[in-house]
Amino acid sequence: MAETMRAALDDGTGQYIVQDVPMPEMYEGAAMIRLHQTGICGSDLHMTTTRTEAQTMASGHEIAGEILELPKGETNLKVGDRVAIEMIGSGRACLKCHFCRYGQYKHCMDLAPDTGGGFAEYMTRKPAGLFKLPDSMDWLDGALVEPMAVSVHGLRYGRMQPDDVVGVVGSATIGLSAIGAAKAFGARTVIASARHPHQAEAAKRMGADVVVGSEPGEFEAACMEASNGIGADFVVESVGGHQSESFTQAIKATRNQGTMLYLGGMKIPLEVDLFEPLIREIRMQSVICYGVIDGRHDYEVALDLLESGEIPYREIVTHQVELENIQDGFDAAWDKTSGSIKVHVKI
């Protein structure tokens, strides 16, 4: 195998330069994976605005690839298997510590080294983080398992119940997966907000019963109307970023003693009135990534939902670019006038 591979690295100004870099380290217990498809996440976009130095290791975490090499003794997978890669938690987990023992690999206390992400040709991760793709799923589907698993984890961890009225603030990648997962888990009604017309159309295709714009008060009013004036049972904040309006919207749309789940990565400190949700006994639930809940990994549940064909999630991939043209992909992902929802990099 070659000593170098092609990878895209941010030069510190938000511009991605494709270059030759050393192959990832094959540490003890690791598998080698040839990557084929990686999604550009909102967090990848946000990180380009905060970096001040050039990257030395590729990022990218919505990944599908093919196993080239496995550690000795591995029996659940074989060379040639096509896999979705959980690179953040179980792909690096020690499998022995307090958190690993009950399947919360994201919180592992002895993670293996990070050897690089999905904007590159190759990756090394532990087999525990490799989830075999069904034959009916292609590379595009495989790179959508991660963002679907984020919402699957959120709804399961937050204990959304069948017949809940569910609100979703935002209809980008995570908001759309939250809509699809909520419907699959038996939500009675799903109300979603969308900033752009093409996102609103996608929200409807994913199963949202009511879709409104992003004007102040619009989402809250729709949740009240859909719930006979009491508010949604379960509200998902999926926007995050460098603003706080969506967080406040989500609280206001939640009924007394309901659950407000924030999936969006809030990048700035927030000034939030906590007295009102205190009086209303709102359960404000923080959640991130994925793990094992009720005996099943969130990736397994996400794979089942995508394989079923009942959620048209693959339709959110509006743009695909080759690795060598990754900057075009980032430009399209930033520019919503391009019609972009999810941009994928083909490797």
Q: Which two tokens stand for residue 127?
A: 């087999």
Judged against a pLDDT cut of 90, whether residue 1 lies above it is answered with: no
Does some domain include residue 314? yes
pLDDT score, position 223: 98
Residues 138 and 209 grouped into a single domain: no
Q: Return the CATH number at 176.
A: 3.40.50.720
* Residue pLDDT, tens place only, 21-69: 999 999 999 999 999 999 999 999 988 888 889 999 999 999 999 999 9
pTM of this prediction? 0.96
| Rounded alpha-carbon distances, angstroms, from residue 97 to 71, 86, 104, 107, 131 | 21, 18, 10, 9, 22
Of 239, 269, 286, which marks where a domain is finished? 286
Does some domain include residue 153? no
Judged against a pLDDT cut of 90, whether residue 81 lies above it is answered with: yes
258: confidence class by pLDDT, cuts 50, 70, 90: very high
Cα separation of 138 and 82, whole Å?
9
| CB crowding 164-198: b at 16 or more within 10 Å, else e | bbbbbbbbbbbbbbbbbbbbbbebbbbbbbbebeb
182: confidence class by pLDDT, cuts 50, 70, 90: very high
Q: Return the CATH number at 57.
A: 3.90.180.10
Judged against a pLDDT cut of 90, whether residue 267 lies above it is answered with: no
Residues 336 and 228 grouped into a single domain: no
* Residue pLDDT, tens place only, 207-255: 999 999 999 999 999 999 999 999 999 999 999 988 889 999 999 999 9
pLDDT score, position 255: 98
Tally of structural domains, the chain: 2
Residues 169 and 271 grouped into a single domain: yes
Cα separation of 82 and 63, whole Å?
11
Residues 47 and 139 grouped into a single domain: yes
Does some domain include residue 206? yes
pLDDT score, position 2: 84
* Residue pLDDT, tens place only, 126-153: 999 999 999 999 999 999 999 999 999 9
Does some domain include residue 152? no
- Domain with 13, as residue range(s), is 4-147+292-346
114: confidence class by pLDDT, cuts 50, 70, 90: very high
Cα separation of 288 and 226, whole Å?
28
pLDDT score, position 16: 97
Cα dihedral across residues 329, 106, 76, 6: positive or negative: positive
Share of the chain above pLDDT 90, in %: 93
Residues 194 and 141 grouped into a single domain: no
Element (H, E) at 182: helix 173-184
